Structure 1
């Protein structure tokens, strides 16, 4: 099954979502901050990235910009995840280069549908 990079600093969110994705058959690689997320995307070459936007060291918006500026990681789809459901947050995430956007708390079936749309394309 596909390798997913989960970039999430909240331990509870990270553990819950990674376990659920593993149970669905995905291989999950985890980064706890945006800088580590960019580095792991470059070395692990995941099929898809789930990126929290409120991250330490390097926030999710800047991490997405760096991923999309790099020709090696640009094609990897990025779904931004955030507890901030404001339209301005959504627009800011798309402007940074994310391919889709989902809100927390994660509704697993909705997120899986978005993931499948990219992974099966």
Structure 2
């Protein structure tokens, strides 16, 4: 059976590069999108995505809007989304969860914490 992939959505290519390096070093397949619109196209194309790492602070379509659009797609309504954000102020976690994220991790990312979160979604 084909392994489910992690979809990384981030407008900063350096973040994508770093996350891909960490995940691939642990044999976790991943693909990426630089915008919310690009991510929605990938998800519409039927890739086997097991979990989404969603940057919140993006231009044009931010993470909140992207999560909302993703949740509106019937086949993605239950797709796990982990909000990844540099916004670590009081209330930001709740705002991400209210927007439809399943979990939240702040930047700079604690790799061990990220891997624990990913495992609970990918070990299906």
Q: Into which bin does the TM-score normalised by the smaller protein fall?
A: over 0.9
Aligned Cα root-mean-square deviation (Å): 1.2
SS at match of 1:56: coil
Q: Report what 2:13 is aligned to.
A: 11
- Gaps of at least 5 residues in structure 1 are none
**Deviation, structure 1 residue 34:** 1.1
Deviates more, 1:35-44 or 1:74-83: 35-44
Q: Aligned to 2:67, what secondary structure does the other structure show?
A: helix
Map 1:14-53 onto structure 2 (within 5 A): 14-43=16-45, 44-53=47-56
TM score, norm. by length of structure 2: 0.91
The alignment's TM-score, normalised by the length of structure 1, stands at 0.93
How do 1:52-63 residues align onto structure 2 when only pairs under 5 Å count? 52-63=55-66
Runs of at least 4 residues off by over 3 Å: none
Partner of 2:71: 68
